[in-house]
Amino acid sequence: MVDPKAQLCPNIVYRPIMPSDLEVLEQIHADLFPIRYESEFFLNVVNGYDIVSWGAVDRNRPGCQSDELIGFVTTRTIPAKESEIADMLRCDSSRTDQTLVYILTLGVVESYRSLGIATSLIREVIKYASNIPTCRAVYLHVIAYNDPAIRFYQKMMFKCIQRLSNFYYIKGQHYDSYLFLYYINGGRSPCSPLELVTALATYVRSLFKSLTAKIWKKEEKKVPRWFKCKDTSCLLVTQNKRIITTDSTGFQCV
Ligand SMILES: CC(C)(COP(=O)(O)OP(=O)(O)OC[C@H]1O[C@@H](n2cnc3c(N)ncnc32)[C@H](O)[C@@H]1OP(=O)(O)O)[C@@H](O)C(=O)NCCC(=O)NCCS
């Protein structure tokens, strides 16, 4: 279908996927993925029914090939509450309008790999999702043995947040998958162990501060009335001095 070696200097352009891409899109999916997708899926992609997608073409290919897909990404926007990762997001529970962008498929034909095409496609997705004010994350599943894709998403700063046992069932065999997620628009995980430790440390520090303040108040009551300054800021200074030089006799009150 594509003879990329013939392309000395590809000129990669990104564009929406259109009905005229149907045949090539189906072919590339069949070539790249172990799963067979139904025709309805492809029709939805090319017609933009409920699916938003981007394609990559090489304008330097000869003739009508210059508009033939050599890469693609397909996505669907879903309500966060209906997704399997709803409790992995720190969502405002009172808001029901929060959404997620799910990556359905991503692929680049073999001869055009390692040129940064998938990187550009995923950047398009992140840009698109970031412009949806209600969207909190972009996420996807990768079959556990797909090392190139796993490395790719790691490089793109997606977080691998879960391994799902037997997620895929392909040709009579079960396979695990990894769930990768990229937070946007203030979306974030509910509470990481580090956040818990930080919160605890902050609490202990504030507790210590308030205890110290109480002790000082008691000490202050013990000080003879005539030592007190009318100005509270002045009192504070003299108290500090007392701490620094314990044998100081100089409560310099006015
Ligand atoms: C995964 C895939 C989309 C990557 O496409 P690509 O256009 O070659 O990716 P990029 O050129 O943008 O690669 C960006 C980074 O991803 C990582 N990466 C991509 N392919 C890799 C590979 N085969 N091995 C290791 N790392 C890889 C590298 O870190 C790379 O950066 P580098 O080139 O600076 O080293 C492509 O290999 C593919 O279509 N695979 C088959 C379909 C598939 O598995 N899709 C994903 C299903 S979720």
pLDDT of residue 196 exceeding 70: no
- Give the CATH number of domain 4-190: 3.40.630.30
More confident residue, 5 or 152: 152
Give the mutation target among 37, 114, 120 for probing the ligand 1 site: most ligand atoms within 8 A of CB.
114
User: CB under 6 Å to ligand 1: residues?
Assistant: 32, 106-108, 113-119, 140, 142, 146, 148-149, 151-152, 155
CA of 240 to the centre of ligand 1 (A): 63
**CA neighbor of 106 nearest in space, from 126, 122, 93, 92:** 122
Sign of the Cα pseudo-torsion (194, 195, 198, 203, in order): negative
- Backbone dihedral region of 64: left (phi > 0), alpha (psi from -120 to 50 degrees) or beta? alpha
Give the mutation target among 74, 113, 115, 156 for probing the ligand 1 site: most ligand atoms within 8 A of CB.
113
Distance of CA 9 to the CA centre of its chain: 34
Please state, in angstroms and rounded to a whole number, the distance separating the CA atoms of residues 51 and 77. Answer: 8
Domain ranges of the chain: 4-190, 194-244
pLDDT of residue 116 exceeding 80: yes
CA of 241 to the centre of ligand 1 (A): 65
More confident residue, 66 or 199: 66
Q: Is 139:159 a contact under the CB 8 Å cutoff?
A: no
Q: How does residue 234 score in pLDDT terms, banded at 50, 70 and 90?
A: very low
Strands (E) in the chain, as ranges, are 12-16, 52-58, 69-79, 99-108, 135-143, 159-170, 173-183
Mean residue pLDDT of the chain comes to: 82
More confident residue, 126 or 198: 126
Ligand 1 atom nearest to CA at 121: 12
Please give the C-alpha separations between residue 82 and each of 85, 124, 140, in angstroms, as whole numbers. 8, 24, 15
- Digit-coded pLDDT (tens) for 69-108: 999 999 999 999 888 888 777 655 456 789 999 999 999 9
pLDDT of residue 253 exceeding 60: no
165-173 average pLDDT score: 95
CA of 149 to the centre of ligand 1 (A): 6
Please state, in angstroms and rounded to a whole number, the distance separating the CA atoms of residues 70 and 92. Answer: 40
pLDDT given at position 244: 30
Q: How does residue 240 score in pLDDT terms, banded at 50, 70 and 90?
A: very low
- Digit-coded pLDDT (tens) for 121-147: 999 999 999 999 999 999 999 999 999
